[in-house]
Amino acid sequence: MKSIKPVFEKINNELESIQKGIQVIAVTKQVGIERTKEAIDAGVRHLGENRPEGLSAKRDAISADVSWHFIGTLQTRKVKDVINQIDYLHSLDRMSLAKEIQKRANRPIDCFVQVNVSQEESKSGLSPSETAEFIKSLESFDKIRVVGLMTMAPNTSDENVIRQVFKGLKTLQLEVASQNWRHAPCLECSMGMSNDYLIAAQEGATFVRIGTALVGTESEA
């Protein structure tokens, strides 16, 4: 597999030319512990996992000062295994999950509310029209801090379709932020992956989630 450091530097330079301060989350779900350590050595400080087992294995093996992001759908029954191991959750999308986080977390967790901007049946997330009301309803949950919104673009080569989805999330994020809710500063946008992170950056992403384009997959080894 390719060395991570020059790839990480290239991605950061691309993002920096668009907007300063965009954070790269290295999605390490398809690579092992050694490759993840290589990413950390290359300067990566945000790691993303989507399975409780993968998260636990890497957390047990890695002592570096990094931020851990859970980026996959989190089943309510798995909250107890995950929530106190992470710094950010990118997939808060229902009240039952919020209640379980409130019950299990031993400190406030920075959460992104997942929005299904494209309205695809195959995707999880709230509809844009119900997002603000859902976030408002979390006001009494002192273990949840809504730091931003997350979405995934459709799997399409049509750049205009992708761009409109990201524009939609950014507009919604600004609307929520304007409410000045103490429990939901909502200043961040988590959007963009390996194939579309530059478009996401152009449309206001503050976190991009990059897996194969940055760390590759174990099958390439």
Q: Is residue 55 part of a domain?
A: yes
Sign of the Cα pseudo-torsion (168, 173, 174, 176, in order)? positive
Residue 28 contacts residue 39 (beta carbons within 8 Å): yes
In a domain? residue 32: yes
Any domain includes 172: yes
Q: Please say whether the beta carbons of 147 and 110 come within 8 A.
A: yes
Q: Is residue 122 part of a domain?
A: yes
In the chain the first and final C-alpha atoms are separated, in Å, by: 5
Could you count the other beta carbons within 10 Å of the beta carbon of residue 197? Answer: 23
pLDDT at 120: 84
Q: Is residue 221 part of a domain?
A: no
Residue 10 placed within a domain: yes
Query: Residue 101: which domain range?
Result: 4-215
> What is the DSSP pairing of strand 188-190 with strand 144-150?
parallel
Using CA atoms, how far residue 174 sits from 49, 135, 147, in Å, is 27, 13, 12
In a domain, 47, yes or no: yes
- Whether residue 141 contacts residue 178, with contact meaning beta carbons closer than 8 Å, is answered with no
pLDDT at 121 over 90: no
Neighbours of 18 (CB within 10 A): 16
Calpha distance 221→213 (Å, rounded): 14
Q: Can you tell me the distance from the alpha carbon of 94 to that of 96, in angstroms, rounded to the nearest whole number?
A: 6
Counting the structural domains of the chain, the total is 1
Strand 46-49 to 109-114 pairing: unpaired
Instruction: Indicate which CATH number applies to the domain containing 121.
Output: 3.20.20.10
Does 79 score more than 60 pLDDT? Answer: yes
Where residue 221 falls among pLDDT bands split at 50, 70, 90? very low
Task: Quick: pLDDT tens for 95-107.
Answer: 999 999 999 999 9
Q: Which helix (H) or strand (E) holds 90?
A: strand 88-92
Q: Is residue 220 part of a domain?
A: no
Residues 128-180: pLDDT tens digits? 999 999 999 999 999 999 999 999 999 899 999 999 999 999 999 999 999 99
**pLDDT confidence of residue 30:** 94
